[in-house]
Chains A and B, each alone.
Chain A
Amino acid sequence: MIQLSINGQSHDLDVPAEMPLLWAIRDVVGLTGTKFGCGQALCGACTVHLDGEPTRSCQTQVGDAAGKKITTIEGVSGDVAKAVQTAWQKLDVVQCGYCQSGQIMSAIGLLSGNKAPTDADIESAMDGNVCRCATYVRIRAAIHEAAKSLA
């Protein structure tokens, strides 16, 4: 049994310790807001927060996540999360939306540590998050917008 704390709730999972956290969250716990895009830490669709740090859950083993505070898109809260989601909605960033859980988790991570990111900061924080619909213009604008609302 491995105990995971996800969005403030504790879950006992009967899975091998090397199972990727992504599949534990989606297939065993049943939270589907976190997405599968590549399985190789190449796209960021599976981004969750481990103790507040944006982390690719497809390349994180369940055993390594035990004892940490795991937050998924379903469980984000606080001023930064609210500012990011509001900016995303205001600018209508989403197209297919499939990458956006991961984009938002990365953006919250960025703005939590950096209240006024420059374009270069945004590029380095967000380049690991692929959007095949190429909503990048609006992602950049929404991060600036969220930063403005937090200032």
Chain B
Amino acid sequence: MYSTLRLTAAAKPELPATLIPSSRRAFLKASGAIAGTLVIGFYLPFRSAAAADLKDPPAPNAFVKIAPDSTVTVIIKHLDMGQGVTTGLTTIVAEELDADWAQMRSEFAPADAKLYNNLFFGPVQGTGGSTAVANSWMQLRNAGAAAREMLVTAAAAAWNLPAGEITVKKGVISHASGKTGNFGDFAAKAATLPVPQQVTLKDPKTFTLIGQPHLPRIDSIDKTTGKAIYALDVRRPNMKTAVLLHPPRFGGVPGKVDDAAARKIPGVLDVVTVPQGVAVIAEHTWAALQGRDALKVTWDDSKAEMRSSAEMVEAYKAMAAKPGAVAVKKGDVDQALSGAAKTVEADFVFPYLAHAPMEPLNCIIEKQADGSVECWAGSQFQTVEQMTVAQVFGIKPEQVTIHTVWAGGSFGRRATPNADYLGEAAAIVKATGGKYPVHLVYSREDDIRGGRYRPMFYHKLRGGLDKDGNLVAWEQRLVGQSFMIGSPFEKVMVKDGVDATAVEGAADMPYAVPAIQVDWHHATSPITTLWWRSVGHTHTAQAVEVMMDDLAHEAGKDPVEFRLALLKDHPRHVGVLKLAAEKAGWSGDKMPTGRGRGVAVHESFNSYVAMIAEVTAKGGEVKVDRVVAAVDCGIAVNPDVIKAQVEGGIGYALGAALRDQITLTKGVVDQANFDTYEPLRLSDMPAIEVHIVESSEAPTGIGEPGVPPLAPAVSNAIFNATGKRLRSLPFDLQSLQGA
């Protein structure tokens, strides 16, 4: 759920609460439903569709709970898949509440699109597009400030002192007279007070927790002691484990099933055929896996993808001979190119990529006697999941309860427009009559071969320079699949035949150029595709930033200077680029023999990242020694979490740049597990420095923006070291032999 949000957000940046007309200002409600506990909720009707609900605001959606023991629990409406959003959102509340960090707790919200919607998505609960902190920023500041004001009012009444004289610091409420108290002392009383309709927020200059270099993560202890519960760890009474045999080819469907041998495996309870494949249900995972190995299934491949990836690349190249649907057009690019003193042509191939989150996909579905259904999952897209599961059972989405738990990574994979794996589990529960809760578990092979890949892409570029080395023309043609077309997001995301997520980062590239055309061909295949950490930027940043390096080289200019000259209208790009260059000690790109240095800068999800990579290239081997990154994501709520996300983004992107790819032979995926789809390992990891630009802009995302600039910075460094351009991903390191 990535760029969707970014675009919807861009379409109506309604964020700052202060700018919202008073008729639409936050509804605040408090309830003391839990004895002695202050529960603070909000209903922020951000979108016009929601305005209709104003007359009848829903039950207060709690964001903050203060218990008699003074612990403060922040209700997290987003999935934490490692990006640290739980820590981030808790920090925002703690700041406005003037709480002590040690008293803060968190808990995942129940699924409810009305109460816990992502304010950038419309009435949909979901996480993605690096929106979690950004859309929660004002909402949770208001919640924290309201709770603080209510506590102060309660203390003032109890002490018979003016509220204006009472201060709150590190969780202690006090008055100059010497009176002091904890939050817990006043929580019960505060819960009976009306929620302030308008609150005064802190001046960011007075923040004490937000921006602190290192506030301990809220999940560190549980995740270092084996206590954190992921979906794979949830156990329900009488629960059985299912594994699903998927068709070996995309678009295939089960034909004849011989399950005699599978049923003989001790522990196997049942074998059922569902639309998505053939499921083996067993007492434990081991029996289910053995049972699946024993299945004999013939597949109907009449509608399946039968091509090999090499054939598909050729087909894409053929499509690129003609212009596609136009995403952006300014000036006459053909004329500008023919008038150019120098032209540069380049093409790039990007493979399918699996997300391969560390925790394989899994979920539990349990049917209740009253017909309702409960699910446990690392749920990233709660609203869609409720709808999908409800549809399978023929019930209402409200009858589907989702328990969100920690997720072992996602990188986009857990959010799909059709809630794929929850739909599979629901189909299995339905086929087994709901007689036991079913835990559907993917093996790593299911994950790697299961599709929902970052789509394969082909880019063809032409750039022109005038005689002084100025950029005068830019033509970029893209070919690739769309995961928006045919999805519920098509209406929002596809305009004039162009899927915004296919061309983001290219159509809106920031460099000043008088003539530009970017167009896109929609390739189709039964192979399923999906957003993958930073979506379109995964390929557009590589194409644009390597091309820029080519052009700088042709122009005989320093690659940093060449970029800066074309970024006059983009101060935040300039800010990160200058900071990275300064911190890396950039002074031209001359390096000792065998070593090289490269630069890239890219904006994604309203955050700006520049990177300078240093590599050693020997024979056919490349070691990335160091990456210096500069980041501008607005106000840095948790600088250490931001650094961690950039470090992780660099590692994730580097694995894909160096060796990850999904290829097909006659429609069957060639890779299966971490031996053939090998993730980055510790010894591959460069030293990393992350520098954060100081900013007073509202915070923007950081889960994804660390990914796009890495590959081009490394590619440009390899060129600097060897004189060879590695454009396509993963890098063809073999071609460096002898370089």
User: A129 CA to B674 CA in the complex, in Å?
Assistant: 11
- Please state if B358 and A45 are interface contacts (CB–CB under 8 Å): yes
Cβ contacts B401-415/A at 8 Å (1 or 0 each): 000001111010000
- Is the CB–CB distance between A97 and B233 below 8 Å? no
Report Cα–Cα, A143/B224, bound state, in Å.
14
Q: Which residue on B lies nearest to A132, using beta carbons?
A: B358
Q: How far is the CA of A138 from the CA of B283 in the complex (A)?
A: 39
Interface membership of B299, Cβ < 8 A? no
Task: Check: B687 CB closer than 8 A to any chain A CB.
Answer: yes
A96 to B225, CA, bound (A): 14
* B46 CB within 8 Å of chain A: no
| B679 with A123: CB separation less than 8 A | no
**The one of B441, B444, B647 that contacts A37, using a Cβ cutoff of 8 Å:** B444
Shortest distance between the CB of A60 and any CB in chain B (Å): 13
Query: Does B202 count as interface, using CB distance less than 8 angstroms?
Result: no
Report which residue of A33, A93, A134 has the largest number of chain B beta carbons within 10 angstroms of its beta carbon.
Answer: A134
Size bin of chain A's contact surface: 35 or more
**Is there contact, CB below 8 Å, between B674 and A42?**
yes
A51 within 8 A of B: no
Known: A42-B675, A98-B359. A123 touches B682 (CB 8 A): yes
User: A32 contacts B232, CB within 8 Å?
Assistant: yes
Instruction: Report the Cα distance A74→B645, complex, angstroms.
Output: 28
Asked if A20 CB lies within 8 Å of chain B CBs, one says yes
Contact yes or no, A95 B284, CB < 8 A: no
A126 CB contacts on chain B under 8 angstroms: 682
Contact of A92 among B220, B232, B443 (CB under 8 A): B220
Question: Is A4 in contact with chain B by the CB < 8 A criterion?
Answer: no
Cβ contacts under 8 Å, A17 to chain B? none
Max count, chain A CB within 10 A of own CB: residue among B84, B441, B647: B647
Chain B residues with Cβ under 8 A from A96's Cβ?
A: 81-82, 357-359, 406-409
Q: Which of chain A's residues have a CB closer than 8 A to the CB of B229?
A: 32
Interfacial residues of chain A within 75-94, with CB under 8 A of chain B in the complex: 85, 88-89, 92-94
Q: Could you tell me the distance between the alpha carbons of A92 and B215 in the complex, rounded to whole angstroms?
A: 9
In-complex Cβ contact of A134 among B228, B652, B674 (8 A): B652
Interface string of A26-64 (1 = CB under 8 A from B): 111011111111111011010000000000000000000
A99 within 8 A of B: yes
Inter-chain contact B674/A43, CB cutoff 8 Å: yes
- Do residues B241 and A40 form an inter-chain contact, with CB atoms below 8 A? no
Q: Is the CB of A95 within 8 A of B675?
A: no
Nearest CB on A from B625, distance (A) = 13
Residue from B235, B360, B409, B679 in contact with A36 in the complex, judged by beta carbons closer than 8 Å: B360
B406 to chain A: which residues have CB within 8 Å?
A: 96-97
Of the candidates B359, B650, B675, the one having the most CB atoms from chain A within 10 angstroms of its own CB is B359
Bound complex: CA A66 to CA B480 (Å): 53
Q: Which residues of A contact B226 (CB under 8 A)?
A: 31-34, 72-74, 101
A50 to chain B, nearest CB (A): 17
CB distance from B546 to the nearest CB of A (A): 22
- Report A-chain residues with C-beta under 8 Å of the C-beta of B84: 95
Q: Inside 8 A of B619's CB, which chain A residues have their CB?
A: none
**How far does the Cβ of B614 sit from chain A's closest Cβ, in whole Å?**
15
The answer, yes or no, to whether B319 is at the interface (CB within 8 Å) is no
Contact for B675 among A26, A35, A40, A123, CB less than 8 A = A40
Q: Given the known inter-chain contacts A94-B217, A96-B409, please indicate yes or no for A39 contacting B444, CB distance below 8 A.
A: yes
A38-B673, A89-B220, A96-B359 known; A132 vs B409 contact (CB < 8 Å): yes
Binding site for A on B (CB under 8 A): 81-84, 214, 216-217, 219-230, 232-233, 235, 241, 266, 283-286, 289, 356-360, 406-409, 411, 441, 443-444, 640, 644-645, 647-652, 654-655, 673-675, 679-683, 685, 687-688
Q: A27-B284, A43-B444, A131-B651 are in contact. List 19 more A-B contacts (CB 8 A).
A: A27-B283, A33-B227, A37-B674, A38-B674, A42-B674, A92-B220, A95-B82, A96-B358, A97-B228, A98-B82, A100-B224, A122-B682, A127-B683, A133-B82, A133-B358, A133-B409, A133-B652, A134-B680, A134-B685
